[in-house]
Amino acid sequence: MRFKVFLFLISLILLSNTNLFANNNKNVLIINSYHRGFQWSDDVLNGIESVLYNTKITSTVLYMDSKRIASPTYYKELKDLYKLQLSKSKYDLVIAIDKFAYEFTIQNYKELFTDELVYFVGIEQFSQDEVKKYNIQDKVSGLLEKRAISDIVKMIYKLMPELKKLYIINDKSENGDDSDPFIQSAINDLKNKFEIQYIRSSTLDKLKERFSSHIPNEAVFFIRFYNDKDGHLYKNSEIAEMIKLSKIPVFTTDTLFIEKGSTGGKLVPIKKLGIKSGEDILGILDTSLVIPFIKVAEDFEYKFDYEKIKEFDLHPDILNIDYKYVNTPLGFLDKHRQFVDFVFLMSPFLLFLILGLIHNLYLRIKSAKLLKQRMQFDKVLLDSIKAPIVWQDEKGRVVDSNAKFCDFMDLPCPEVKGKTLKDYIKKDKSVTISKTLEPFINNAIEENQMIIKDGEDKEYTYLIDQTNYTENIFKTKGTVTVFTDITKEKQAIKEKRKHQEFVIQQSKLAEIGEVFSSIAHQWKSPLVEIATIAQEKLYNEDGEIQEEDDKFVNDIMFQVKYMTETINSFQKFIMPSTQKIVFDINESVEEMLEIIRHNIKYNYIDVNVNVKANTNLMILGYKNELMQTLLNIVNNAKESIIKEKSKDKITQGIIKINIKNVNNKVQIDIVDNGGGIPQKYINQIFEPYFTTKKDGHGIGLYMARLIIEDKIGGTINASNTKDGAKFTIQLELTK
């Protein structure tokens, strides 16, 4: 007896748990007006299911196939079939996709269902009287699909102001009847502007023939055409072919044909319609939405086919709207994606190949025994370098030097090498210089500054860099010493306010300091070593020098000289100006753009410089500082554009630099489409150390204002345009 009671209690517990689990799960029935594969309803269904995915909602889909069969007899037999299928099923919600499923559901509600709620999506008109007729007005909710018919007609007229004739295509289906009142209203609004031909009865072949020839100032507004006058049903692919072959622009109402030949329009995003429906369905099932309700889907997307827009010479910019292109031409990286991926994949192997070639070259020179103990600089290379350079062996003896070193020591270069720096100083330099140079003569330190006074008690400051070298073949080593005259830079620092100079140096380091440091302090000495090794291996060869080897060394010298000149160009760019000069604004802008040309190019940004005719471009000021200011602003614009492109808000970066005269001044406007400056920060961006960037310093724009207003006597302001930021600089013209 006790065992039976125990089994009874266990059964009750299991039964209650089963009911609990069942209550947590929801079942919905989806009745689709059309067949599987009909793209419009499939896109809506995909949107719904994307929302219901990973929920405890189970969905069952029934396809009515109303596009292909729509007779009363068919609907009666379909009702009997569904009645049999659903007799043992209970659903929490019935979802009707489009008009046929909706009308079928409410007309047969009493026979197919008990007290299930009904939700519809995709119909354009809703009648409260109709649901009252079946006494289910408290059970029916839905999302009406609104097509922007009137707006699209007006948009076509704005895109084509010379429009003479507009064809509007809408079939004679029940859905077509629902759209008809909206079409008639749009026709009445603009019928006096141009001729309108409303087509509801035709065939696809006749439409193809009618639009097979290009007629200027004519367009087609395609709403739907699934059923022709003979009752023939067309597939989406057949309709898309007609649209694509049309020789006049064809505008549509939803995203169904935007990538299949449609010129575009104000489109209903079909999948988003399904997603919005899915969110409503969740709200009904979890009782967060009050039912019944009728909503209207008013989400639209302006989309245009890039190729069609170009083919018909249309300009969506005149609409003053945010729009997107589809079928845009592929960029270089997209066109050659496989090649680029191959290059990245092969780059390690290419690196090893290059290293192998260098090693083979080294072995070739080694086997020829072209090395000699003494090192000899190429005079053309050394004399082209403005800094004094001296080469010493491990015992401190001078191997060679350039002409600038001789000038620095104030004596002619000796014909016979092998003397130390002390030998130079004893003959021609004072004791003060000797003591100053002593640490460097003894190779005690690698890098420092040295101050020397001449006979007139003027101070000159030199930056001394020493690099050790080792030559393994003949076991020799030594140092290369480079004296860089930085007197003018030191004098400029003393003449400027400490705070401003600090900011200037910080700004330079933030923009191009890493590039210059890498080139100037790390490449000069290796370049000298490369040239020296090449010359030494050639001129230390026993016997006559071959013409081919001499040409080989000369080629190396030419490349090294080119790289040296590049270093000097960067030095010139970052060197602060010490006095005002008269220069051409446009020339400074072009020089600045040349520095960042590759960076701008590979980020796919168009930079347009527009100089108004008869503009006086000559100003008196500090050229380098102005160029750095312009570079700072353009770099900020570039970063903003890259950020906007990463969010898919824009497809093409644009920076415009406009130069003109305003009130006897020259004005530079730098405008971009990078989204602009947040309005709450617009009055703070010129303050020191204020930044909106994650890794920013807050120095660049503050430095820009100091240079423009304090140093040059101009003005600089920032504002926002529709698409991005605008910086305006005004400078006094030279007199």
Predicted pLDDT at 247: 92
- H-type alpha helices, 216-259: 236-245
Q: What does the pLDDT look like over 272-285, one tens digit per residue? A: 999 999 999 999 99
**669 φ, ψ (degrees, to nearest 5):** -110, 125
What's 25-146+270-298's CATH class?
Answer: alpha beta
- Tell whether the model's pLDDT for residue 507 goes beyond 70: no
Predicted pLDDT at 716: 93
Predicted pLDDT at 424: 61
- Tell whether the model's pLDDT for residue 16 goes beyond 90: no
- Tell whether the model's pLDDT for residue 412 goes beyond 70: no
Record: fold of 149-267+299-326 = Rossmann fold (3.40.50)
Highest average pLDDT, of 240-254, 456-470, 696-710, comes from 240-254
Predicted pLDDT at 19: 43
Q: What residues pair up with 26 in beta bridges, in sequence order?
A: 57
Residue pair 102/119 in contact by the 8 Å Cβ criterion: no
Are the folds of 149-267+299-326 and 379-574 the same? no
- Tell whether the model's pLDDT for residue 256 goes beyond 80: yes
| C-alpha Rg value of the chain to the nearest Å | 40
Give which of 25, 36, 60, 32 is closest to 274, Cα–Cα.
32
Q: What does the pLDDT look like over 458-494, one tens digit per residue? A: 777 777 777 777 766 666 777 777 777 777 777 666 5
Predicted pLDDT at 506: 47
Q: Give percent above pLDDT 70 in the chain.
A: 76
Output DSSP code: residue 451: E
Q: Which CATH architecture has domain 379-574?
A: 2-Layer Sandwich (3.30)
- H-type alpha helices, 211-264: 236-245
Confidence of residue 655 (pLDDT cuts 50, 70, 90): very high
Residue pair 584/558 in contact by the 8 Å Cβ criterion: no
Q: Angle, to 10 degrees, between the axis of helix 547-574 and the axis of helix 623-646?
A: 90
Domain ranges of the chain: 25-146+270-298, 149-267+299-326, 379-574, 581-732
- Tell whether the model's pLDDT for residue 555 goes beyond 50: yes
Confidence of residue 1 (pLDDT cuts 50, 70, 90): very low
CA distance 49 to 40: 14
The DSSP-derived string for 641-663 is HHHHHHTTS-SSEEEEEEEEEET
User: Which of 10-19, 436-445, 456-465 has the weakest average pLDDT?
Assistant: 10-19
CA distances from 356 to 346, 351, 364 (A): 15, 8, 12
Predicted pLDDT at 473: 62
Predicted pLDDT at 27: 92
Q: What does the pLDDT look like over 233-244, one tens digit per residue? A: 888 888 889 999
- Tell whether the model's pLDDT for residue 141 goes beyond 70: yes
Is domain 581-732 classified as CATH 3.30.565.10? Answer: yes
* Residue scoring higher pLDDT (365 or 209): 209
The DSSP-derived string for 353-420 is HHHHHHHHHHHHHHHTT---SS----HHHHHHSSS-EEEEETTSBEEEE-HHHHHHHTSPPPSS---B
Predicted pLDDT at 8: 46
The average pLDDT across 44-70 equals: 89
Q: Which residue has the tokens 């009671």?
A: 5
Q: What does the pLDDT look like over 74-131, one tens digit per residue? A: 889 988 899 888 888 889 999 999 989 999 999 999 999 999 999 999 898 898 999 9
CA distances from 140 to 41, 121, 280 (A): 20, 11, 13
Predicted pLDDT at 624: 82
Predicted structure pTM score: 0.46
